[in-house]
A = this chain, B = another copy of it.
Amino acid sequence: MARPSSDIDAMREQLLEHCEDLIRERGAVEFTVSDLATLAGMSPSNVYRYFESKEALWEAMAERFFREKNDIMQQVVASDLPARGKLIAFFGKRLAVMRSRYEDDPKLFSDYLDLGDDHFEVVRGYIDLADHYMAEIIAQAMAEGYFTGLEIDDTVKLMNCMVQPFVSPRVMIAFWPTATQERLEQVIDVMLHGMRAGNNAHQPGLKLVN
């Protein structure tokens, strides 16, 4: 029964595009299933065949918003690159995606961020997922001799503190054009180099062991 399933997926995707049209038209304002049904030319009860609840609709919108970035993270983690190359791709490719979306339509981008704030419980899962992938790269980096004496979770937190202009959309907007790909690579090298095995001894003040 592959055909019906893909028909349903196609209609879901089309409805999500209509959701985006509603955001473009009205901004980051809540809309109802009835609004969506009107735009799609179907009855509200028909919309519920594709999204069983308003919450399911928000979740699908978030999934669509994060899909490209999630694919990037998955591919980078699965690649054969050394840790440094993975970190540069992990942050750099997502930065490029966000930057391009922002440039395509700054207002829509900003409205999506506002909607994300209003539905943070949905967004939270994608942030946790990114942390999970980052932890996998950090584990590899540890095997390569970086982050000596640190726990993986602490390294994730420390790294998140140091890369905000490259990952957080609002900070990214405020930091453009400072937060370039070139500067991202500098930041990654400073982090790797500042926490490399054997280097800590040169810096008596370094308190990286918990």
> Which of B179, B182, B205 contacts A189 (CB under 8 A)?
B205
> Which of B157, B183, B193 contacts A202 (CB under 8 A)?
B193
Please determine whether B189 and A161 come into contact, CB atoms closer than 8 angstroms. no
Q: Chain copies in the assembly?
A: 2
User: A39 an interface residue at 8 Å Cβ cutoff?
Assistant: no
Within the assembled complex, what's the spacing in Å between the Cα atoms of A186 and B157?
11
Stretch from A2-10, A11-19, A67-75, A164-172 forming part of the interface with B = A164-172
Chain B: which residue is nearest A165 at the CB level?
A: B161
Within the assembled complex, what's the spacing in Å between the Cα atoms of A193 and B192?
10
User: A122 an interface residue at 8 Å Cβ cutoff?
Assistant: no
Interface range for A: 35 or more
User: A42 an interface residue at 8 Å Cβ cutoff?
Assistant: no
Chain B: which residue is nearest A157 at the CB level?
A: B178
User: A78 an interface residue at 8 Å Cβ cutoff?
Assistant: no
Chain B residues with CB under 8 A of A190:
158, 162, 190-191, 194-195, 208
